[in-house]
A and B are shown apart, each in its own frame.
Chain A
C-alpha cells in the first residue's frame, strides 16, 4: 500500500456494489501475497492469498489479482456489505522472510 501521511486512503462504496482495493509492492522478488481485513479494535484477519505463479485467485465474494509486471495487487469484493467496512492491508513476502505490510485502505460501505 502507498502512504498518504497520517490519513489512510479511503474508498467509499454503496452497499451491493463491487469494491476494488489496490496495492503496489516494491520487491520484485516477492513470491507470496496476502490480503488482510482489520476491524476497529481487532487484529488483522486473513482474507485471501496468492502465490507468484498465479495471477488470479477467487474466494467467497473476494478475488485477488496479481500483476507482477507492474508489481500491483488488487482485492475485489463482490456485492459489498456493511460488514465489509474495515481497513484492508496487502502484504508481500519473499521466501521465508517476514511479511511486509502496506499502509492500508479504509473501506466505508454506504447503506
Chain B
C-alpha cells in the first residue's frame, strides 16, 4: 500500500545482535502498530503507538522496544535477537473506514 512502507523485505541476523525495523507512513495517521505472524498463531500484537512518543505494549512485547519520535515513523527494535524472534513482522496504520492497513511485511531470520 502506498501509504505505508516497510522498506526491508528480508533480513538475516545473528543471535544476540540488535535489529531495528522501520515503518514509514505518509498519511499522518495517529495510530501505528507492529504485529508478528507465525504459523499457528496468526497475527499477534507486539507494540502500538497512539501518537508521537506515546506507545503501549501488546500481547508479545518481551524482547522488543519501539520508538516514535515523529508521526511518520514507527521503529521496532529487537534488543538482542533470539531464534524465537524469527518471524514475519507487519506494521499497520489505522484508517477510519478501512480498518487497519498493513505494510508488505519483513521476514526476519535469526541464525
Contact = CB atoms under 8 A, between A and B. Distances in A.
Interface of A: 1, 3-8, 34, 36, 41-46, 49, 89, 91, 96, 98-104
Interface of B: 1, 33, 35, 39-45, 48, 50, 58, 90, 92, 98-105
Contacts of B43: 44, 89, 91, 101
**Interface of chain A: mostly helix, strand, loop or mixed:** loop
Contacts of B44: 101
B105 A42 contact: yes
Contacts, number: 56
B90 to A, nearest CB: 6
B98 A46 contact: yes
B66 to A, nearest CB: 13
Contacts of A96: 50
Given A43-B90, A98-B45, A103 B103 contact: no
Given A42-B104, A43-B90, A43-B104, A104 B42 contact: yes
A102 B42 contact: yes
Nearest to B100: A99
B105 A46 contact: no
**6 residue pairs, one from A and one from B, having the closest CB atoms:** A43-B102, A103-B42, A101-B43, A6-B40, A34-B99, A101-B42
Nearest to B41: A103
Nearest to B47: A98
A45 B39 CA distance: 18
A67 B30 CA distance: 31
A9 B45 CA distance: 22
Contacts of B45: 98-100
